[in-house]
Amino acid sequence: MKNTNILISGASIAGPALAHWLIRYGFNVTIVEKAPALRLGGQAVDFKGETHRTVLSRMGILDDVRKLQTGGTDQEIVDATGRRLAIMPGEFTGGDLEIRRGDLSKILYDRTAPACEYVFGDSITSLTEPPAGDGVHVTFERSAPRTFDLVVGADGIHSNVRRLAFGPERDHVRFLGHYYALVELEEDFGAVPRMYNEPGRMVAVGGPKAPAFFTFASGRLDYDRYDVGHQKDILTRAYAGMGWRVPAIMAAVGRADDVYLDEISQVRIDGYRKGRVVLLGDAAYGNTLGGFGTGLAVVGAYVLAGELAAARGDHHVAFAEYERRLRGYAKIAKNGNTGPFLAPATPAGIRMRNWMFKYRFLLGLMMKLGDKFATDIDLKNY
């Protein structure tokens, strides 16, 4: 085995999932994460179909995920008076297995931390492959420089590794005209999840352990993703004058400590590999809120690690085969934009979206199509 010393950037889902397999195959793994600690909480993520379940089972975490699954709660869509207009079924948003992102992240962290070096509160500043081609020289914001055999960018749609190795984000990420936000509120807005729309804006609150969820249409915004106060100001302006319970919700947002605001966007990149650097998960094939990101990350980690093990660490062979296998499977991430679905631009668009949930056969067709995409890969048993 060669190239056994691997650096992964990103400690959310894709990075620790990859570490799980690499450790099992005998690689030495370091994970660097910009956040000061593991990010808990967050929105629910889901798995669909036999392929996802098979990978979770082979990882040995399927039972752990089932124990912490949220169950996919039905959500009421209401008008300004609170009258129910439609019901979004839990199985539509929750897939076969739904779990909070932070809970899944902790499962993966607990499985890998004893045999993996985690470095929190740090970030890569440069990647250099010497002419001899025997590794990647890496510098960090805080840590001393080190050399690794391979580097994996598993650090999301705004991937730092992708920027350093492949070029500026603007060349690889397409903004889709909407933003979304997740806010952990102290106030209780009811046991039943409810969603309210006005043209170009959506807010959803309530339900078990769920953060408030916002989606709104907007031009490109210039803001600091780590400045909570600035993000609150953006949300306050975006939701000014909205009806239903939104004024009370926005007052609660003003008191919240945990706010996450980001754009809805899509990664468009020609290849996942460059030299000894490879991209995984949203960094390679992200589509915000597309419904397949977590499954793609976990399956992609399984394939990438499996191909590295099968190639005895030969990254030329392994990276090429990983890309070949994931290209077709990840094509779903190139299609669709959830922004107009969650926050239709017109009253007619809102009515049409709601109408869809009244006809179960249409909903069933959409869900079957989703299952087809989720299983559209020949899953090798490495």
- How far is 150 from 152, CA to CA, in rounded Å? 7
- How far is 168 from 171, CA to CA, in rounded Å? 6
Torsion sign, CA atoms 99, 102, 105, 106: negative
pLDDT of the residue at 373 = 62
pLDDT of the residue at 94 = 63
Residue ranges of the chain with per-residue pLDDT less than 50: none
pLDDT of the residue at 207 = 77
239-270 pLDDT, tens per residue? Answer: 999 999 999 999 999 999 989 999 999 999 99
pLDDT of the residue at 329 = 86
pLDDT of the residue at 333 = 61
pLDDT of the residue at 363 = 65
pLDDT of the residue at 153 = 98
pLDDT of the residue at 213 = 94
Structure tokens at 285: 């094939």
CB neighbour list of residue 186: distance below 8 Å, 6 or more residues apart: 252, 255, 256
267-285 pLDDT, tens per residue? Answer: 999 999 999 999 999 999 9
Measure Cα distances from 227 to 232, 233, 291 in Å: 9, 10, 27
> What predicted TM-score, i.e. pTM, was given to this entire model?
0.92
pLDDT of the residue at 208 = 65
- How far is 285 from 334, CA to CA, in rounded Å? 8
